[in-house]
Amino acid sequence: MKIVVCAKYVPDATGDRKFNADNTVDRVGVDGVLSELDEYAVEEALQIRDATDGEVVVVTVGPEVARAAVLKSLQMGADSGVHVLDEAIHGSDSAATSLILARAVERQRPDLVLCGMASTDGGMSVVPAMLAERLGLPQVTFASEVVVEDTTVRIRRDGDAATEVIEATTPLILSVTDQCNEPRYPSFKGIMAAKKKPVETLTLGDLGIAADQVGLDAAWTRVDGFTERLPKSAGTVVTDDNGSGADQLVSFLVSQKFV
Amino acid sequence: MPTDEAAELVKLVREIATEQLAPRASEAEAAAQFPRDVFHLLGQTGLMSLPFDEADGGGGQPYEVYLQVLEEIATAWVSVAVDMSVHTLSSSAMARFGTPDQRETWLPGMLGGSQLGAYALSEPQAGSDVSAIATRAVRDADGYVVNGTKAWISHGPHADFFLLFARTSDDAKRGLSAFHVIAGTPGVSFGAPEKKMGMTASTTTQVIFEDVRLPVELRLGDEGQGMAIALSALDSGRLGIAACATGLGQAALDLAAAYATQRRQFGRPIADFQGLQFVLADMAAAVESARATYLSAARLRDAGRPFSRQASIAKLVATDAAMKVTTDAVQVLGGYGYTRDFPAERYMREAKVMQIFEGTNQIQRMVIARSLLREAQ
């Protein structure tokens, strides 16, 4: 089974995040990582591959530094990577991203396309659905469990009120949640092996996409401005003097309109 | 870092240390819980075999890289790093002196992390003076019968195998032999865990051998080669402890620097006061000096040059630095540093043993002086 994983390079959530002058996310000047939620997609793909004797190709779209997302996936055990790299991509919205991904993915003729449940920077969760629409393939999102038997895929979706099991057939687009597995750490041998694995770099031209179809100018949405969240304040310490602690707590909760 | 792979490796280690080790360290140390699962994870990721040859299933990494990995782990949880160093020491004899059959049988488990090794050399009456070892392995028709008590054995009850040194004759130079002892062998038992000042998550016990039968196939090297085997890994083990001590010092420095920028007195962070800045600067200088010293010795080792004196210097400098830096960290944190709510006091307790084990710092000075004076003659 040939599996393609869409993996995104995002700013490290534990570090400082910055915006560029055009209000796009700064992906170059800050520490970045393979989106933590995409690690679940990579892990799921590796497990399915190992059970079906298949192949895992990781696709990413982004600036030069985004290659690190492919590299991490290769270190975890993916077989090869594709990096779509083109200056015109800067500022692309979800719709444009899905166009680029769709063209890159269809070249691979995959049986299964796996995505994370959301990116940890944009957090929109719409790319898998857009990708399915563009590729004309069925999609199942937010899978908590994936079982593959030949061309049949059984997916468990855990909702707030109910759990549903959906059966689908390949080819298929799937997004997986952070409940479906525990992503492995790369091994040292994996790090060494990743260096020798092939990574294809493609431009928009290679994918038959015109520069004006993507990027900030083609975006349907744009960020007009942003406000940095204030740093957390020190908080309030309630000292229980002579049994007055409970009253103080209640007063605090009332003053904050929590009760 | 000498290569891109080594840089990637250290990145991986930092990730594991931050996510899997640091969050658990304080609680496990307080509860004296040995984290056996951590060594499985380190084994699966290939970190238990870094300095061993690739042909043996190791990572083929120079000591310079292995020690920096050890330092990263020590910064997150020094007990784990020390136990990893002990495992390396315990496995190195098999890699270097094992027969092809022995290596084929035992090395994959050792280097893959499924088999954790303990180093059974010291005895209650034989610490720095290895020649006082009294544990005996008596040869008979079926192999050896071992009797004796080993002391200060790191992760003794959790080990899967022991590198045992026992007396096979009274010859002063060739009286010791080395053995590979599998945990669970009848006659092997453990004393109560030592009530230690620090590094409590790493269980230290006596290992008692009572009429333990060992087949000849489990002897490593020739009979009488034990002292040579023990000495062959001594200098490398000292470098391991130097790296652990440096990591511990780094952890204390990081804690103190972060605290100093947050703690406010007289309307400003205490980091604004020059008196405190000088303390922090001296701490940083001590940690950097320790790192530079062990790396310099490691590079000599990697180049195949003698490094015994430099290993002792590194052990001495790094562990004394760790003691000073962790003590200063407690001072920077003031009253809070003296409580168990912050790890500073734990770091200080952990640093003390670094000056004692793997050859006390007084022994290191003897090694350094002897080497120095031999050259001067």
Q: Do A133 and A239 form a contact (C-beta atoms < 8 A)?
A: no
**Does one domain contain both B98 and B147?**
no
Which one, of B356, B264, B373, lies nearest residue B315 by Cα? B356
Q: Do B39 and B116 form a contact (C-beta atoms < 8 A)?
A: yes
**Does one domain contain both B146 and B168?**
yes
Q: How far apart are CA A29 and CA A89, in angstroms?
A: 17
Crossing angle of helices B63-76 and B226-262, in 10° steps, is 50
Residue B70 binned pLDDT confidence (cut-offs 50, 70, 90):
very high
Q: How far apart are CA B263 and CA B65, in angstroms?
A: 36
Mutation site, B4, B8, B40, interface A, largest A CB count within 10 A: B8
Domain count, chain B: 3
Q: Do A248 and A238 form a contact (C-beta atoms < 8 A)?
A: yes
DSSP structure class, residue B121: -
Q: Find the catalytic residue in B64, B72, B350, B358.
A: B358
Residue B184: phi and psi, rounded to 5, are: 95, -5
Mutation site, A185, A196, A197, interface B, largest B CB count within 10 A: A185
**Does one domain contain both B84 and B124?**
no
A192–B12 C-beta distance less than 8 A: no
Give A195's contacts in chain B (Cβ within 8 Å): 4-5
CATH number for the segment(s) A2-218? 3.40.50.620
Give B4's contacts in chain A (Cβ within 8 Å): 195
**Share in percent of chain A as helix, strand, coil (round to 5):** 30, 25, 45
Out of B45, B80, B111, a domain closes at B111
Q: How close does chain B come to A235, measured CA to CA in Å?
A: 15
pLDDT at B279 over 80: yes
**Does one domain contain both B59 and B187?**
no
pTM of the shown model? 0.87
Please tell me which of the candidates B5, B16, B41 has its beta carbon nearest to residue A191.
B5
pLDDT at B344 over 90: yes
Residue B129 binned pLDDT confidence (cut-offs 50, 70, 90):
confident
Q: Is B226 exposed, middle or buried (0-12, 13-18, 19+ CB in 10 A)?
A: buried
Residue B83 binned pLDDT confidence (cut-offs 50, 70, 90):
very high
* Chain centroid, CA A90 distance in Å: 18
**Does one domain contain both B99 and B130?**
no
What average pLDDT does range B297-313 have in this prediction?
Answer: 97
Which uninterrupted H or E stretch holds A48? helix A36-52
Q: How close does chain A come to B44, measured CA to CA in Å?
A: 7
Nearest-CA residue of chain A relative to B57? A189
**Does one domain contain both B275 and B182?**
no
Give A191's contacts in chain B (Cβ within 8 Å): 5, 8-9, 12
Nearest-CA residue of chain B relative to A68? B8
Mutation site, A14, A74, A188, interface B, largest B CB count within 10 A: A188
**Predicted pLDDT of residue A72:** 96
Q: Is B19 a catalytic residue?
A: no
A192–B44 C-beta distance less than 8 A: no
Q: How close does chain B come to A169, measured CA to CA in Å?
A: 34
**Does one domain contain both B181 and B203?**
yes
Q: How close does chain A come to B112, measured CA to CA in Å?
A: 11
Q: Which bin fits B141, alpha (ψ -120 to 50), beta or left (φ > 0)?
A: alpha
ipTM given for this complex: 0.80
Nearest-CA residue of chain B relative to A189? B46
Q: How close does chain B come to A152, measured CA to CA in Å?
A: 32
DSSP alpha helix (H) spans, A116-204: 127-135, 188-194
Nearest-CA residue of chain B relative to A188? B46
Out of B227, B256, B286, a domain closes at B227
Out of B91, B111, B131, a domain closes at B111
What average pLDDT does range B112-122 have in this prediction?
Answer: 94
Q: Where in the sequence is the domain holding B81, given as residue range(s)?
A: 4-111
What average pLDDT does range B260-283 have in this prediction?
Answer: 97
The half-sphere exposure of B175 on its side-chain side, counting CA atoms within 13 A, is 13
What average pLDDT does range B237-266 have in this prediction?
Answer: 97
**Does one domain contain both B95 and B161?**
no
Nearest-CA residue of chain B relative to A196? B5
Give A187's contacts in chain B (Cβ within 8 Å): 44-46
For B319-336, the pLDDT digits (tens) are 999 999 999 999 999 999
**Does one domain contain both B36 and B60?**
yes
Q: Which residues of chain A have pLDDT under 50?
A: none
Hey, where are the domains in chain A?
Answer: 2-218
Residue B190 binned pLDDT confidence (cut-offs 50, 70, 90):
very high
